[in-house]
Chain A
């Protein structure tokens, strides 16, 4: 993405850097920057400041741009009344577990499919990729029934974090991302490790994984955001108040809570993912595009 300043795009560089082109370019740039800020940051501003307004100020016409009498109390109420600390902790716990389970099982699987290539490996990969075509809503009922009573083991996973962690492992997109990255690691390295008598596990641990840090980072970030954003699945499999995730918790309380408190809670719930995004935006964006473009 760094080389794009040099390549020719729709409109030539020279046309944009002189005369009328230059004027149009700069006006358009200013308009777009202002417009995008308004459209994409505006609502967030509205959300953060709206949650600071009092009940009367919210209902006032026309709405005020700045809260006249800021009420940080709304945020404190949200934190206390909705037990946000507990909800955030739960979500965080599920997210970390999901990252660990995905990293361990998905990178092992991708390693096997990429480098060890056992019999039926391609068929298994095909079956995994086929699940990408099946919308989640189609599977929600049978998946839920399965979680209530796991086949053979007859364990009920309701309210157990495994009900979130294990289904997250069945993520064909991540296995595909990891496999493609492992595919790009030269076979010579593998052969050299083999010569030195390293076992497969050892090769994975000391050669493949250290080289794959960027993609492991991407997969981890995707896992965290997936857990953080998910709604229906945690709502179904984590029904008790003690195990709820933050989105589900806010939704459950939304009915009987003043709306600025609900919004304050929504702001707090959004902070972790926004921070993750601001820190890791480069990784997220490159992971997103490498995963989809050349696939």
Chain B
């Protein structure tokens, strides 16, 4: 639609001054104050919502992680919540599972959409249809999609869709969510199916921005398809690739609804317990909101660590 056709105004440099801020000459103090007040009046609704539901909870989460509330009485307990959370045997399992999921999801959910996008970008037919198909699962409520996987696809008997296919191909069938080894891969498949559409569309848009001359030049130099991908496509989409990697790590670290619905939470032999699920478990079942807050802070620190590495790596490349 019209969205893409609106011309971009250049960012900061060379941007024309606002008619308000650069109002001619007689900018009296009163006028300035009034303009500012008008500006803030328009901001206040959104800012209040950010304060109450985002900025304040951020600080409150950190504060809560050092407190304990019992029978309405809140006391400071130092690092007690942290040591209690870390001593929980599920803590390390949850981190292991979450990292395992993140790695699998990067291998599948990050690489596959890129190549799907490259493929779709070459097609001159059925493009719109394929794009709609890839994005369709993104629009389903995750709970709906996961019940489909749970009851029909991952049915451990031979009536299940996947087992029926495996059997038809004379391959060994699987217990899926009831087998600790298959739990994570099965969750990654479901999660990738549900979520890859967004990444495909973003890659497609960035592929369309690659100047055709680069491919032409590479071809004249005798580069085959694979070398053109390595030397043109990937470097040209480097920024978006890096950005999506980071976003995907943040998203996969929050693995929650997949274990909750597919594996009823912990899964076979704790194979599905994720950090996010543990936060939920502590906060809303064991009535340990402070412990859950501490776990949240730990998650934030781990992600901040990832971001630091990410900033380092991307800064070096430029």
Contacts and interface: CB of A to CB of B under 8 A. Distances in A.
B297 interface: yes
A23 interface: no
A25 B144 CA distance: 36
A38 B226 CA distance: 27
A140 B143 contact: no
Given A109-B42, A266-B144, A59 B53 contact: no
A236 interface: yes
A214 B5 CA distance: 11
A163 to B, nearest CB: 9
Contact of A138 (B36, B61, B149): B61
A50 interface: yes
Contacts, number: 351
Among B52, B130, B133, B276, max chain A CB count under 10 A is at B52
Of listed B141, B157, B240, residue having the most chain A CB within 10 A: B141
Interface string A8-41: 1111110010000000010011001100110111
Interface residues of A, number: 120
A205 to B, nearest CB: 12
Given A135-B303, A146-B53, A270 B58 contact: no
A233 to B, nearest CB: 10
Contacts of B103: none
A115 B18 contact: yes
A32 B130 contact: yes
Contact of A231 (B137, B143, B293, B300): B143
Contacts of A73: none
B13 to A, nearest CB: 13
Contacts of B182: none
A28 B265 CA distance: 41
Contacts of A66: none
Nearest to B299: A138
B99 to A, nearest CB: 15
Interface residues of B, number: 120
A137 B8 contact: no
Main secondary structure of the interface of B (DSSP, over half): helix
Nearest to B210: A9
Interface string B179-208: 000000000000001000010011011111
B9 interface: yes
Nearest to B144: A266
Interface string A144-188: 111000110000000000000011011000010000010110010
A263 B21 contact: no
B52 A166 contact: yes
A270 B119 CA distance: 29
A60 to B, nearest CB: 6
Given A46-B161, A263-B148, A289-B201, 7 more contacts: A170-B52, A170-B54, A200-B42, A266-B145, A286-B3, A289-B204, A292-B205
18 contacts: A33-B130, A43-B145, A108-B43, A117-B21, A137-B256, A137-B299, A138-B61, A146-B60, A169-B53, A184-B7, A214-B3, A232-B256, A232-B280, A263-B151, A266-B141, A266-B148, A281-B135, A285-B131
Interface of A: 1, 4-5, 7-13, 16, 25, 28-29, 32-33, 36-37, 39-41, 43-44, 46-47, 50, 58-63, 104-106, 108-109, 111-113, 115-119, 121, 124, 127-128, 131, 133-146, 150-151, 166-167, 169-170, 175, 181, 183-184, 187, 190-191, 194, 200, 204, 214-215, 218, 225, 228-229, 231-232, 236, 246-248, 250-251, 254, 259, 262-263, 266-267, 269-270, 273-274, 276-278, 281-290, 292-294
A-B residue pairs, 10 tightest by C-beta: A118-B39, A8-B212, A109-B46, A266-B144, A112-B42, A142-B57, A116-B39, A105-B45, A289-B205, A169-B49
